[in-house]
């Protein structure tokens, strides 16, 4: 299975982004409104400055308290996130997420942001693939 197939199976291919100068309070609003755990930090929706996850905000809250809410996305984001391409395999994405201990991966084409996959998207797609393989094998064994 390829990243392209995972993107096609998602309800929406829109990527939620925020700009580097957005306050953490506003980023929290975006995460809550869209019911997501991370946003790509981008000046224009296609170039990637970094990625900011709820975990970055939780860590900053624990370390510095509520004053971190007045900081900007650029202060808490991870710059140069690990990205993947549409023709990467789901397994390679899963390995990189597991090794890097992150759950979000921007998808890039020609240096532009074209999608995002989460560990949930990848696991869902793999489970559906395994279920289809199981049905096909059962069909072969039963002679259907
Ligand atoms: P997550 O598990 O995705 O919520 O993120 C956990 C940590 O990894 C946070 O510090 C994120 O900023 C960072 N992170 C998330 N996605 C990526 C990525 N694709 N590449 C590098 N770091 C990431």
List, for residues 63-118, the tens digit of each pLDDT value.
Answer: 999 999 999 999 999 999 999 999 999 999 999 999 999 999 999 999 999 999 99
Q: Which SS3 state, helix, strand or coil, does residue 113 take?
A: strand
Class of domain 3-142: alpha beta
**Domain assignments of the chain as residue spans, ordered by start:** 3-142
For helices 54-64 and 24-34, angle between their N-to-C axes, nearest 10 degrees:
140
Angle ∠(5,106,85) on CA atoms, nearest 5: 50
Question: Is residue 50 within 6 Å of ligand 1 at its C-beta?
Answer: no
The 10s digit of each residue's pLDDT in 53-65 is 999 999 999 999 9
pLDDT of res. 116: 97
Please name the residue whose Cα sits nearest to atom 6 of ligand 1: 102
Q: DSSP code of 2?
A: B
Please name the residue whose Cα sits nearest to atom 7 of ligand 1: 102
Which residue bears the tokens 């004053």? 67
The number of the ligand 1 atom at minimal distance from the alpha carbon of 53 is 4
The number of the ligand 1 atom at minimal distance from the alpha carbon of 77 is 12
Predicted TM-score (pTM) of this structure: 0.90
Q: What is the rounded distance in angstroms from the CA atom of residue 46 to the CA atom of residue 63?
A: 32
Residue 115, Cβ density class (10 Å: 0-12 exposed, 13-18 middle, ≥19 buried): buried
Q: Which SS3 state, helix, strand or coil, does residue 124 take?
A: helix
The number of the ligand 1 atom at minimal distance from the alpha carbon of 105 is 19
């Amino acid at each position: 299975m390829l990243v392209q197939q995972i993107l096609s199976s998602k309800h929406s291919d829109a990527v939620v982004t925020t700009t580097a100068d957005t306050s953490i309070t506003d980023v929290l609003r975006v995460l809550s409104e869209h019911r997501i755990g991370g946003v790509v930090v981008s000046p224009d929706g296609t170039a990637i400055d970094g990625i900011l996850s709820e975990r970055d905000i939780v860590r900053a809250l624990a370390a510095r308290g509520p004053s971190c809410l007045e900081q900007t996305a650029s202060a808490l984001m991870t710059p140069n996130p690990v990205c993947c391409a549409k023709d990467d395999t789901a397994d390679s994405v899963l390995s990189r997420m597991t090794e890097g201990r992150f759950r979000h991966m921007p998808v890039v084409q020609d240096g532009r942001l074209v999608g995002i996959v989460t560990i949930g998207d990848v696991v869902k797609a793999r489970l559906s693939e395994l279920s289809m393989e199981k049905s096909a094998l059962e069909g072969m064994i039963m002679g259907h």
